[in-house]
């Protein structure tokens, strides 16, 4: 536990402080001793790079990026890279720590890492993005590698970004290092089922939660904040189970339609105009109205700290499935849990991506590729098992699902740390 983060006056906007607060709630349940708390709430390595990129105008611009390895006790660091104007070291540290817990709660042989570059991809050309990506990959090359730290896509990065990273590192090495990133296009060693994996995990964990609370998914209403890769696939797969999508948003705006929206029509609109906003025969609503829309299932699949003490009391969803990382603040967690909402925490709800990243990495190391059915089936069994383990822990300790997920995750990492011992 990092001391400055325990001062409530510093807690307000720090995403890492929020992650540490979640950690401490579970550490209390486990009666974790002080030294172990310090080990597990600190980031092992925090790496910041400032690097130049030649822009299309011919001018040079310096960008700042980070790669953080939170914990590597159970295996290589694993976690995405995001490109966004709000990226900061504080945010990347929080995201790295959530990756440690995500990999532990699903029992993948990984630690947690994350990377990010502060930039606005929406105002940059493809050529500028490629140069930024290749230079950032070079700058963090002392850290990343198939056996040390394996990046993947996150906000505003995709298979193409991963292809540039793989190519850059492979050019430096003189041979192709396929396993250095996951979320690659199929043609260069990606896994079938990876693109939709995070959304599929949202669907699987929603399905399991619905069973536990007796919610019939046929006709259940769904609101999706953030119609990106995760939001689209979650909406699409929930729609396949009979759910009705009644509102959706992205950075361009929010829309609602009580009679239901078709996920594929929304995607076509987004692909042609860049946003779901402007979709025909819909009400235009604000982001706040979207979150507060009366529904059975709310899927926050955008950014952190969207559901807060300011709006939680007006959110009425029966199940909140965190497709995004860190969308709910601890204050909002308490308000919603007291109101009887079931929150499926990020480290469980959106773990489908990293689970299939793990399958991709295994396929890369073995040079042996799986059928899509095998990928989907293994993902389903890992997430169903993890969901039920977390549900049982929440009943056993009488705690909410986030604390229960953290308890299971922390217990695994603490046990591994104790078995390995403290070096030297």
Which amino acids are annotated catalytic? Answer: 114
- Of the candidates 417, 396, 296, the one whose C-alpha atom is nearest the C-alpha of residue 29 is 396
Work out whether 19 is an interface residue with ligand GLU (CB under 6 A). Answer: no
**Of all helices (H) and strands (E), which one includes residue 51?**
strand 45-54
> At its nearest, how many Å lie between ligand GLU and the CB of residue 183?
6
Contacting ligand GLU (CB under 6 A), which of 79, 112, 201, 327?
A: 79
Q: Which range in 6-14, 23-31, 139-147, 350-358 contacts ligand GLU by CB under 6 A?
A: 350-358
Work out whether 71 is an interface residue with ligand GLU (CB under 6 A). Answer: no
The helix-helix angle for 352-366 and 197-213 (nearest 10°) equals: 130
Q: Which two tokens stand for residue 240?
A: 């396949």
Is residue 219 within 8 A of residue 296, CB to CB? The reply is: no
Work out whether 182 is an interface residue with ligand GLU (CB under 6 A). Answer: yes
> Bridge partners of 67?
47, 115
Is residue 34 within 8 A of residue 11, CB to CB? The reply is: no
Kindly write down the DSSP assignment for every residue of 251-318, as one continuous string.
TTEEEEEEEEE-HHHHHHHHHHHSSSTT-TT-EEE-HHHHHHS--SEEEE-S-SS-B-TTTGGG---S
Contacting ligand GLU (CB under 6 A), which of 357, 364, 394, 408?
A: 357
Q: Which is nearer to ligand GLU, 109 or 253 (CB)?
A: 109
- Residue 222 CA to residue 10 CA, distance in Å, equals 35
Quick note: the x/- pattern for ligand GLU over 289-328, rule CB under 6 A, is ------------------------------------x---
- Of the candidates 328, 417, 406, the one whose C-alpha atom is nearest the C-alpha of residue 97 is 406
> At its nearest, how many Å lie between ligand GLU and the CB of residue 230?
9
Q: Which range in 75-83, 84-92, 164-172, 380-388 contacts ligand GLU by CB under 6 A?
A: 75-83
> At its nearest, how many Å lie between ligand GLU and the CB of residue 240?
22
Work out whether 154 is an interface residue with ligand GLU (CB under 6 A). Answer: yes
Q: Which is nearer to ligand GLU, 79 or 285 (CB)?
A: 79
Work out whether 80 is an interface residue with ligand GLU (CB under 6 A). Answer: yes
Where do contacts with ligand GLU occur on this chain (CB under 6 A)? 78-80, 102, 152, 154, 182-183, 325, 350, 353-354, 357
């Amino acid at each position: 536990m990092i001391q400055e983060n325990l001062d409530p006056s510093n807690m307000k906007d720090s995403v890492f402080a929020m992650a540490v607060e979640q950690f401490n709630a579970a550490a209390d349940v486990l009666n974790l001793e002080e030294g172990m708390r310090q080990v597990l709430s600190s980031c092992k390595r925090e790496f910041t790079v400032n690097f130049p990129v030649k822009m299309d105008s011919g001018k040079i611009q310096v960008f700042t990026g980070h790669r953080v390895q939170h914990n590597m006790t159970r295996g290589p660091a694993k976690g995405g890279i995001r490109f966004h104007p709000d990226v900061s070291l504080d945010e990347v540290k929080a995201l790295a720590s959530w990756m440690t817990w995500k990999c532990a709660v699903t029992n993948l042989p990984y630690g947690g890492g994350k990377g990010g570059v502060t930039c606005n991809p929406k105002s940059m050309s493809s050529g500028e993005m490629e140069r930024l990506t290749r230079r950032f990959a070079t700058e963090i090359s002392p850290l990343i590698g198939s056996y040390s730290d394996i990046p993947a896509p996150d906000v505003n990065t995709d298979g193409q970004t991963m292809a540039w990273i793989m190519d850059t590192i492979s050019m430096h090495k003189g041979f192709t290092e396929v396993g250095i990133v996951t979320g690659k296009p199929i043609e260069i060693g990606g896994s079938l089922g990876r693109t939709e994996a995070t959304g599929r995990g949202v669907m699987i964990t929603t399905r399991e939660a619905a069973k536990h609370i007796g919610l019939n998914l046929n006709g259940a209403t769904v609101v999706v904040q953030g119609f990106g890769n995760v939001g689209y696939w979650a909406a699409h797969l929930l729609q396949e189970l009979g759910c009705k999508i009644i509102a959706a948003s992205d950075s361009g705006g929010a829309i609602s339609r009580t009679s239901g929206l078709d996920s594929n029509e929304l995607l076509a609109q987004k692909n042609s105009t860049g946003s779901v906003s402007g979709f025909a025969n819909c009400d235009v609503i604000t982001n706040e109205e979207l979150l507060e829309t009366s529904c059975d299932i709310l899927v926050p699949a955008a950014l952190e700290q969207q559901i807060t003490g300011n709006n939680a009391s007006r959110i009425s969803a029966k199940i909140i499935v965190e497709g995004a990382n860190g969308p709910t603040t601890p204050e909002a967690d308490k308000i919603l849990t007291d109101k009887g909402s079931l929150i499926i925490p990020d480290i469980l709800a959106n773990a489908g991506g990293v689970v299939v990243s793990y399958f991709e990495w295994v396929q890369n190391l073995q040079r042996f590729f799986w059928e899509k059915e095998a990928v989907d089936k293994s993902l389903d069994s890992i997430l169903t098992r993890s969901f039920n383990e977390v549900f049982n822990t929440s009943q056993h300790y009488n705690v909410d699902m986030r604390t229960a997920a953290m308890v299971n995750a922390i217990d695994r990492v603490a046990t591994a740390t104790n078995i390995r011992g403290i070096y030297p």
